Homo-oligomer: A and B are copies of this chain.
Amino acid sequence: MATPLVLHPDRALPADPATREVARRLYDTTRSLPLVCMHGHVEAEVLADDLPFPDPAHLLVVPDHYVTRMLVSQGIPLEDLGVPRRDGGAVESDPRAIWRRLCSNWHLFRGTPSRYWLEHELVEVFGVRVQPSAETADEIYDQLAATLSDPDFRPRALLRRFNIELISTTDPATSDLRHHARLREDGLGDRVIPTFRPDAVVHVTGEGWREHVEELGKLTGFDTSAYPGFLDALRKQREAFIRAGALATDHGHLGTDTTPLNDTEAARIYSAALDGKVTPEEAGAFAGHMLFVMAEMACEDGLVMQLHPGVLRNHHDDVHRAFGPDRGFDIPVAAEFTRGLRPLLNAFGHHPNFRIVLFTVDETVYSRELAPLAGAYPSVRLGAPWWFLDSPDGMRRFRELATETAGFYNTSGFVDDTRAFASIPARHDLARRIDAGYLARLVTEHRLSEDEATETAVDLAYHLPRIAYQRPRSP
């Protein structure tokens, strides 16, 4: 007989009975609060088109690199998981076969957040009642497929059902924002907003950089064949994003250097890059300079900066060549913020219109650098645990390592940062449980009163994400 799949009401709460009891009460005050999703990777197109989701495998396995990398790590090729090859070569085309591979390897996910999120989705979103396994794979597949054809499971219906009050997509600087225009026409403009991500146009040695800046020029009517026009174009696009509802920009960099160049030098490197004659050092210096420039523009237009540094992308060249980016082969490196951000914070750290939210996949910087920076500079907020660290113990460690120096109110509240739309409630739910557990420990250890813990839990779950991104505080 198949093992039943049940979500325990106390899952991810602390084991100690007294602490659990407090945690349960705290979680009860936050569990039903609306979801505020200030940063993520759901495509605006999905919500604009509102088409039914595809089959279970292409919803839950193929695009989720947390899931595919784990299967790959135990010897299952990406091809067998239906991940499309760039050269159009053959990959598994039967979604049922892909789904079976996940279910047969369910044990690999023991102790991982993917397991937690998937179980939550299966039960809460799809009503599945048996544990995935080789034996139950087909039964579950059929149930999921049937559910997905129901109109109540289209993206916009789920947006309502998930109680998502606000969701930010992430959009390239060259986006024409037409999906957001459509959403606005349909009355969803306050609920789905874009985020300005200029990575593809500031990393001058990145794939297709020249095409991207040309496109930026066409879109804005500025001459991006030289540096001044490039800046004008960026400024204009930031304005377009703001008109479309944007509250923030987002920046993915390998390091955190923010040393500004003088205009002449910046312009020289920009031109050299267009000529294909740029060194890696110059490209790095230009990227750091552009972080400074983006902060400068942020002081003018009020967009909140988000920085996601420290990941060496596409660690395995062949996987990148064959399958493209975001396939699970992005590996963190040691991070450094104190020296890297110093130029930027010296210039704008006390500016009343500036805010920067910092993320890391190197948790050694929580207590050493990020909490001291956030606990001093009025412009700095600590983002939620990111990527590999967005996990039960990872989130707990974040609170333990950051709170004593930064407090709660210099953190951003939960940020789901996911491209897996159906996993959003699971992720917020887990974060609320972990924060409840951490706060409950403070209460049981008599380091905080339960009244204050309750207020803090609500702030972390709901108010702080809005405040961090400078939306007015709700009453």
Binding site for B on A (CB under 8 A): 3, 8, 10-19, 69-70, 72-75, 107-113, 116, 312, 315-319, 328-334, 336, 338-339, 342, 345-346, 349-350, 352, 361-364, 367-369, 371-378, 380, 388-389, 391-394, 397, 400-401, 403-410, 441-442, 444-449, 451-452, 455-456
Contact = CB atoms under 8 A, between A and B. Distances in A.
A75 B444 CA distance: 31
A380 B73 CA distance: 8
A11 B111 contact: no
Contacts of A112: 403-405, 407
A400 B393 CA distance: 7
Each complex incorporates copies of this chain amounting to: 3
A397 to B, nearest CB: 8
A332 B8 contact: no
A68 to B, nearest CB: 9
A361 B312 CA distance: 23
- In this complex, the member of A15, A350, A391 whose beta carbon has the largest number of chain B beta carbons within 10 angstroms is A15
Contacts of A74: 378, 409-410
A316 B349 contact: yes
A403 B111 CA distance: 6
A113 B18 CA distance: 23
Contacts of A110: 407-408, 442, 448, 452, 456
A165 B296 CA distance: 54
30 contacts: A8-B446, A12-B446, A13-B445, A14-B445, A69-B375, A70-B375, A70-B407, A73-B380, A74-B409, A74-B410, A107-B409, A108-B407, A110-B408, A110-B448, A111-B447, A112-B405, A113-B404, A312-B338, A316-B345, A316-B346, A318-B350, A329-B376, A332-B368, A333-B368, A334-B336, A362-B364, A364-B364, A364-B368, A393-B404, A397-B400
A404 B391 contact: yes
Contacts of A69: 375-376
Nearest to A448: B110
B408 A394 contact: no
A417 to B, nearest CB: 15
Given A110-B456, A318-B346, 20 more contacts: A8-B446, A70-B407, A73-B377, A108-B407, A112-B404, A315-B342, A315-B373, A319-B350, A328-B375, A330-B372, A331-B369, A331-B373, A333-B336, A333-B339, A363-B367, A363-B368, A367-B388, A367-B394, A371-B388, A372-B388
Nearest to A119: B447
A252 B204 CA distance: 39
Contacts of A397: 400
Contact of A378 (B75, B116, B401, B452): B75
A265 to B, nearest CB: 22
Contacts of A319: 350
A89 to B, nearest CB: 16
Contacts of A391: 404-405
B367 A442 contact: no
A15 B456 contact: no
A409 to B, nearest CB: 5
Contact of A11 (B15, B116, B445): B445
Contact of A410 (B15, B16, B73): B73
A446 B349 contact: no
A330 to B, nearest CB: 8
A175 B266 CA distance: 50
Nearest to A374: B73
Contact of A369 (B333, B338, B400): B333
Contacts of A405: 112, 388, 391
A270 to B, nearest CB: 28
A374 to B, nearest CB: 7
Contacts of A111: 403-404, 407-408, 442, 447-448
Contacts of A109: 407
Contacts of A446: 8, 10-13
A70 B112 CA distance: 35
